[in-house]
Amino acid sequence: MASVIRPTLLRQAFAAPSKRVLSTSTIASSAFKSSTLSSRRPLQSALAQDALPKSARIAAFHGTGSRMILPPLPQRIQGTVNDPASVPDPTPAHGSYHWTFERIVAAGLVPLTIAPFAAGSLNPLTDATLCALVLIHSHIGFESIIIDYVPTHRMPGVRKLFMWGLKLATLLVGVGLYEFETNDVGVTEAVKRIWKA
């Protein structure tokens, strides 16, 4: 709330500084000392310029100090104000089944993460199942990020590029996990060795 009110109060204070009352005498005395007889500035502009340094006066009107890194996306208006929003055809594969599958994978990760360390067994089947579920869970999560933040109707080419990049990264990580499981010690044994090191 304070971040919303502060710029408004500063704008009002600098828009009409003659109406405000300053309680500190140091600001007013520095404003009077800086003005000479030959070139007298009005009291309000002297108070406004001497009260805050230039960087603080500029920063007071900005919410953050960040710069625009990427240009804004292209803007397109389709239809009129009175046209309804298009609703995609409902399919259970993209709705309830997909949501249920995500929750089953997420819930399955909890016992598969704890079981190898609690029981002390190094079963390769448990290790492979854990790797597969971590890979699927990560893929679904990154896919959701791409779907949410790279809209198809505004950037179809970028969306397709990101989706293919995700599929390639998932494939490479899957091959890497397979190689690590078959030709090396496996994920759970590697975690145990790192934990005891």
Domain boundaries of the chain, sorted by first residue = 2-59, 96-196
Other Cβ atoms less than 10 A from the Cβ of 28: the count is 16
**CATH classification (class only), 96-196:** mainly alpha
Q: What is the pLDDT of residue 52?
A: 58
Encoding tokens for residue 5? 């009110």
The answer for residues whose C-beta is within 8 angstroms of residue 169's C-beta and 6 or more apart is none
The mean pLDDT values, 10 residues at a time, for the chain of 197 residues are: 56 53 46 47 52 58 63 73 78 79 94 83 84 96 92 87 97 96 89 86
CA 3, CA 15: separation in Å to the nearest integer?
19
Report the 10 Å Cβ neighbour count for 1. 5
Question: What's the predicted TM-score (pTM) here?
Answer: 0.58
Classify residue 195 by burial, with Cβ atoms within 10 Å: 0-12, 13-18, 19+: exposed
